[in-house]
Amino acid sequence: MIELVGKIGSMALIDKVNGDIDYNKFANLGRQLKPGMIWVSSGAVEIGRIDYMRRTGAELPTDDNHTKANYAAQGQAILMNMYRNFINPQYGIRQFLVEHNHFNNEKKSIHIKKLLEAAAKQNCVPIVNYNDAVSCEELRKFEIGILCKKKQNVLELVDNDETASQIACLVKAKTLLILSTLDGIYEDVCDPTSLIREISAPSFEALNKKLDEVKLKCLGASRAGANGAKYKLEYIKPCLAQGTQVIIASAKYNIDDILAGRAPSTVIINNSKEF
């Protein structure tokens, strides 16, 4: 079993004060990532934007799907280089660029599952990102529309929270860890004392109901274009249904401290006896 699938959001990898890559964040992550973990990393688009501005002195003139694809293509190489620079050199790293069609096709998803599991056995850390450079929203919507006519339960993978959740389902991970700029899920995001430490229930049906109630309290997102906490709670439901524990926490804490309960977080558990 894969012990951990982790995901980090774009803004958790950016130094907002200086408008630059947060090199300390990559260094800290690099010390912690190891074989047996699967790491889903956002950041290619934002890092590509920062790199383009640094080299040209201005952003691209339009803000559309093509601009996002251009930034992603430029940022992806930098993103992988950052992980390669800071992950233990004894470990290999392997890049996986995935799209919705990989998870809507059984043969493709099985192929990805085998590759991810092989990486753990071959002393490598998989770094996964949705392939923003070639899968624009217009094409995705078109392809999803065709799939919906053929089958039910079509996956769109609109962001890396959903990507991480589906990978955790695919490999039946013990834990899915989602890192962002916040300590977890709040009763009131404007009140830092209202962190919800645990959401649990004795069955998935009861847990699903609790999550829907908490979603009503989730407002806003970390950046324009992001979906926010309420969508995270929706995306993780398939993981919880199969018994994967989900933890939502801030990227400023060490992974080991979060997993051990030494750092604030929201832990979501399906306590069904079926697992």
**pLDDT per residue over 128-146, tens digit each?**
998 888 876 655 665 556 6
Within the chain, what is the greatest distance between any pair of CA atoms?
58
Task: Calculate helix-pair angle for 44-56, 65-86, nearest 10 degrees.
Answer: 100
Half-sphere exposure of 35 (CA within 13 A, CB side): 14
Domains, the chain, with CATH or none: 4-270 (3.40.1160.10)
Q: How do residues 10-28 score in pLDDT, each as one tens digit? A: 999 999 999 999 999 999 9
Average confidence score pLDDT of the chain: 90
For residue 121, how many other CB atoms are within 10 A of its CB?
9
Q: Which of 162, 154, 169, 130 is nearest to 232 (CA)?
A: 162
| pLDDT at 31 > cutoff 90 | yes
For residue 215, how many other CB atoms are within 10 A of its CB?
16
**Percent of the chain whose pLDDT exceeds 90:** 73
pTM equals 0.90
Residue with tokens 């801030």: 250
pLDDT (average), residues 192-202 = 96
Q: Cα–Cα–Cα angle for 172, 173, 175, nearest 5°?
A: 140
Cα 168 to chain centroid distance, Å, stands at 10
**3-state DSSP call for residue 236?**
coil
Q: Which of 82, 86, 101, 68 is nearest to 14 (CA)?
A: 82
CB within 8 Å of 131: residues ≥ 6 apart: 97, 98, 99
Identify the band that residue 85 occupies on the pLDDT scale cut at 50, 70 and 90: very high
Dihedral sign, Cα of residue 75, residue 227, residue 207, residue 196: positive
